[in-house]
Amino acid sequence: MDREARIFVAGHRGLVGSAIKRALEAQGYRQVLVKSRSELDLLDQRAVARFFAQERPEYVFLAAAKVGGIYANATYPADFLYQNVLIQTNVIHAAHRYGAKKLLFLGSSCIYPKLSPQPIREAYLLTGELEPTNEPYALAKIAGIKMCEAYHRQYGSDFLAVMPTNLYGPYDNFDPQTSHVLPALLRKFHEAKVADAAEVVVWGTGTPKREFLYVDDLADACVFLMKTYRHADIGPIVNIGTGTDLAISELAELIKGIVGFRGSIVFDASKPDGTPRKWLDVSRMEQLGWRASTTLAEGIRKTYDWYLAQQSAVRP
């Protein structure tokens, strides 16, 4: 991937896209193409085709998506399915039609069956029922993976799909109703600390186990794959994670300590837990020569510092 290559980062304002953009610029890539939603609506097939015809990106990072946690997925299932299928269909087809050399599609670990053996290997895709709370989102992502695979099989397109574990970091969504568990907890503990509250209520029993990857580590892995590997080398999908997980109760205690909240933690067992465990087998990425470098505590501290900076910026 030449330093002067034209590289399109779809979704550059989101958690993943912004990290990929930072990684590319830090490594000296000078033609990183980005468009805001007002400039390019990825739901509009004609607009996407027109952009690709004019700009002719050689490499595409498809990080644009509608994302959210359990509450958002349960509340807006049609939006999650419809919008994600449209976005990825439009971009993947345009990348093929207008001759992109490579495309990297960002999937999600929720594509795997709810009761997958642990750790979850890439081969477990479509071997069991999905977790009901995020099934529409998972189905959309599976369609994107299969599109990459189909375009490779039919046209020889060098399209890869990566399956990151749960992500967090700068530019995450901290909305209490639509965010994922880590940023939601970080905001809860921060606001409880500011309010000098006696307790923080956490959804579920606290027993499910999750794996978390700092988003700048994911970006580093994505650029690494785009520069060095092809679909033919590693197959249609590859997991990206840390290889370690922890219980939600342990995560809550860790965030509590980093934020400095002194109250108690209460688990609301009437709320859903989601999948009992999601722990990715990352041996394929390790064999390729890549490992995550940011510890969970270090990543949460960086994320909290970023969150505090944003809070200071919006204060009158």
Instruction: Please give the Cα distance from 235 to 125 (Å, whole number).
Output: 13
273 is in an annotated binding site: yes
Q: Is 239 annotated as a binding residue?
A: no
Q: What is the signed CA dihedral for 199, 203, 207, 209, rounded to 10 degrees?
A: -110
231 is in an annotated binding site: no
Q: Would the annotation count 153 as a binding residue?
A: no
Question: What CA–CA distance (Å, rounded) separates 265 from 254?
Answer: 12
Is 293 annotated in a binding site? The answer is no
Tell me 120's DSSP state.
Answer: B
Residues contacting residue 165 through CB under 8 Å, at least 6 positions apart: 109, 210, 211, 212, 213, 239, 240, 241, 242, 278, 280
- Residues sharing a CB contact under 8 Å with residue 52, sequence separation 6 or more, in sequence order: 94, 95, 97, 98, 100
14 is in an annotated binding site: yes
Do the annotations mark residue 35 as ligand-binding?
no
Asked if 44 and 61 touch (Cβ cutoff 8 Å), the reply is no
CB 233 within 8 A of CB 161: no
Sequence-distant (6+) residues with CB within 8 A of 50 are none
- Please indicate if the annotation marks 16 as binding a ligand: yes
The answer to the question of whether 190 is labelled as a binding residue is: no
Q: Is 108 annotated as a binding residue?
A: yes
How far apart (Å, rounded) are the C-alpha atoms in residues 129 and 115? 8
- Is 73 marked within a binding site? no
165 assigned to a ligand binding site: yes
User: Is 13 annotated among the ligand-binding residues?
Assistant: yes
17 is in an annotated binding site: yes
d(CA 114, CA 274) in angstroms, rounded, equals 9
The active-site residue out of 29, 137, 168, 171 is: 137
Whether 307 is catalytic: no
* 15 belongs to an annotated ligand binding site: yes
What is the separation of C-alpha 299 from the centre of its chain, rounded to a whole number of angstroms? 15
Q: Which residues are annotated as part of the binding site?
A: 11-17, 106-109, 141, 164-167, 180, 188, 203, 210, 273
Q: Which residues are annotated as part of the binding site for substrate?
A: 188, 203, 210, 273
Q: Which residues are annotated as part of the binding site for NADP(+)?
A: 11-17, 106-109, 141, 164-167, 180
Catalytic residue numbers read 137
